Amino acid sequence: MTPWLHVLTLDLAVVGAAAAVMLVDALVPLRGRTLGWLVAACLTGVFAASFFVDVAGVTPHGAYVSDAWVLFFKRVFLAAAILGVLGSIDWLEARTPRRQAEYYALVLFSLVGMMLLPGARDWVLLVVAFELMGVPLYVLAAYAKQDGPPDEPKLAAEAGLKLFVTGAASSAFTFFGLALLVGLSGSTRIADVGALSPLAAVGLLFVIAGFGFKLGAVPFHMWIPDTYQGAPTPFVAFLSVAPKAGGLAALAVILMSSGWIGEQRLWAPAIVLISIASMAVGNLFALPQTDARRLLGFSGIAQIGYALIALASATEQGLSMTLFFIASYVFTNLGVFLVVHAAAENMGGHSIARMSGLSRRSPWLGGALLVFLLSLAGVPFVIGFWAKLFVFLAAYRAGLYAPVIVGVVLAVVGLFYYLSIARSTFMADGTSDTKIQAGLGLRTAIGICLVAVIALGLWPGPLVESATAAARAFLAAR
């Protein structure tokens, strides 16, 4: 096996799965839920193989590196994709039964782009992987353009358009910054910074802005609430976590695997400012929201702000706690969106008022939603508590006192809107006592998220150790 095939074994397996989905649909179209379960099984097999197949190595010319850092992110992406596919099975079978294969193939191709990002060490590969991740998301955001009652507006087309426009702006910012950085260094290798100058600093800031769009960080967040409200909720569950993890991986590669790590004074203030703005805008703008998806969109903006605090510290502990935070966020945010989806499908809408009485109609869904909300709020002792605590500690030890104080205060503010959903779920009277029906795939995805949030909240040690080993390997390979 040639070196590049060796290190890209998991990526090629996902590419093969995507090609197989399209081929099977062309030759023997599968109806019902069969194809979704097959895709979930394939991804589960790739995830399991990541623990047994040695993929460490470097491709020729050093354009791609595979180590513990890359493997950690690949497992995060695979877990998000598995849960996203499981959560979509029933919705696709009910709403778009003839277009299921297209949906799964787009998710898989986007997943391939994500899996390439953490190991990219060349600007060309990084940009190609980033666009491979992003372009399928534009299509998926508008996938339900004909969904919904005829008397209600179709918001999916608007969601896809806003994601596309901001994605194009993201690419423009990134390419302009790269033109400056590559032109000044004379090399496409990310590690080759060249002579540091004011123009190089401008180029770096443009690149940070470009990746800020994908992260949904302030001031590049304007697409999130509308896209989350209009796109299919099972897809939004995936969109809300996996691309953000990819964006954080790429940002870390740029800032901490090259000569820029020694110039923290140039980029750290920008990251801190974006972090504080994201926490403030996300938490404060979530307070008046009445649609659960828009509320969770602003919540996601705030959560990215918390993650960026630790990244700005530019230390091994800060980087490892960023990894821990994003892994915990995958299970928590996916879980809460899938519960909202299950409730909306049975209760007539995504508004917080429509979720009244959810705990009476489905005690286990109401309980799961409460656990996920507590995790997002950072209440002991679920995984979200440890995630916030660890990023605050990492930033505090790095001397970033101001963002830590702001983050703690705004985390308390976040309790109000998270508990407003819980209050509607448990304390408000609903209009019906009919039991909520959820398909097996959706129940399985919610159950996995619930178990992960509780189990890792009670015993976060293994995930902390894995994140620490990944960060250490990444920094050692600089």
Task: Tell me what pLDDT residue 151 has.
Answer: 47
Task: Tell me what pLDDT residue 42 has.
Answer: 93
* Residue 75 token pair: 């497992």
Task: Tell me what pLDDT residue 1 has.
Answer: 43
Tell me the β-bridge partners of 65.
58
What is the torsional sign of CA 261, 264, 268, 270? negative
The separation between CA 85 and the C-alpha centre of its own chain, rounded to angstroms, equals 14
Q: With CA atoms as reference, report the closest residue to 214 among 144, 110, 294.
A: 110
Find out whether 87 and 234 touch, Cβ atoms under 8 Å.
Answer: yes
For residues 368-397, average pLDDT? 90
Q: CA angle 83-88-93, nearest 5°?
A: 145
Q: Which amino acid is at 254?
A: I
DSSP string, 261-274: GGGHHHHHHHHHHH
- For the cut 90, the answer to whether the pLDDT of residue 74 exceeds it is yes
For residues 306-324, average pLDDT? 89
Find out whether 4 and 60 touch, Cβ atoms under 8 Å.
Answer: yes
For 434, counting Cβ atoms within 10 Å of its Cβ (0-12 exposed, 13-18 middle, 19+ buried), the class is exposed
Quickly state the pLDDT bin for 430 (edges 50, 70, 90): low
- For the cut 80, the answer to whether the pLDDT of residue 97 exceeds it is no
**What are 43-72's pLDDT values in tens digits?**
999 999 999 888 878 887 778 888 889 999
Task: Tell me what pLDDT residue 99 has.
Answer: 82
Share of the chain above pLDDT 70, in %: 92
Kindly list the domain boundaries of the chain, sorted by start residue: 3-476
Share of the chain above pLDDT 90, in %: 35
- For the cut 70, the answer to whether the pLDDT of residue 262 exceeds it is no
Q: With CA atoms as reference, report the closest residue to 364 among 290, 438, 292, 295.
A: 438
Determine the angle formed by the axes of helices 292-312 and 264-286, rounding to 10 degrees.
160
Provide the residue count of the chain: 478
Distances (CA, A) of 122 to 17, 62, 119, 137: 26, 8, 9, 23
What is the torsional sign of CA 213, 274, 121, 462? negative
Category of 216 on φ-ψ map: left (φ > 0), alpha (ψ -120 to 50) or beta: left
Distances (CA, A) of 263 to 162, 266, 268, 314: 35, 6, 9, 10
Find out whether 233 and 340 touch, Cβ atoms under 8 Å.
Answer: yes
For residues 323-327, average pLDDT? 93
For residues 233-247, average pLDDT? 91
**Rounded Cα–Cα distance for residues 385 and 346 (Å):** 31
Most confident segment among 22-26, 152-156, 383-387? 383-387
Task: Tell me what pLDDT residue 258 has.
Answer: 64
Find out whether 276 and 247 touch, Cβ atoms under 8 Å.
Answer: no
Q: With CA atoms as reference, report the closest residue to 387 among 470, 272, 467.
A: 467
For residues 449-468, average pLDDT? 92
Task: Tell me what pLDDT residue 432 has.
Answer: 59
Q: CA angle 29-345-101, nearest 5°?
A: 15
- For the cut 70, the answer to whether the pLDDT of residue 465 exceeds it is yes
Task: Tell me what pLDDT residue 61 has.
Answer: 77
DSSP string, 127-178: HHHHHHHHHHHHHHHTTTTT-S-TTS---HHHHHHHHHHHHHHHHHHHHHHH
Residue 176 vs residue 431, higher pLDDT: 176
Ranges of beta strands (E only) in 214-270 are none
Q: Strand, helix or coil at 231?
A: coil
* Residue 444 token pair: 């399985």
* Residue 133 token pair: 């991740």
**Rounded Cα–Cα distance for residues 106 and 457 (Å):** 33
For residues 250-265, average pLDDT? 76
Q: With CA atoms as reference, report the closest residue to 391 among 301, 463, 342, 318.
A: 318
**Rounded Cα–Cα distance for residues 234 and 165 (Å):** 22
Task: Tell me what pLDDT residue 448 has.
Answer: 94
For 146-150, 233-237, 424-428, which range has the lowest pLDDT when averaged over its residues?
Answer: 146-150
**Rounded Cα–Cα distance for residues 160 and 144 (Å):** 10
Task: Tell me what pLDDT residue 40 has.
Answer: 93
- For the cut 70, the answer to whether the pLDDT of residue 340 exceeds it is yes
**What are 34-51's pLDDT values in tens digits?**
888 999 999 999 999 999
What is the average pLDDT score of the chain?
86
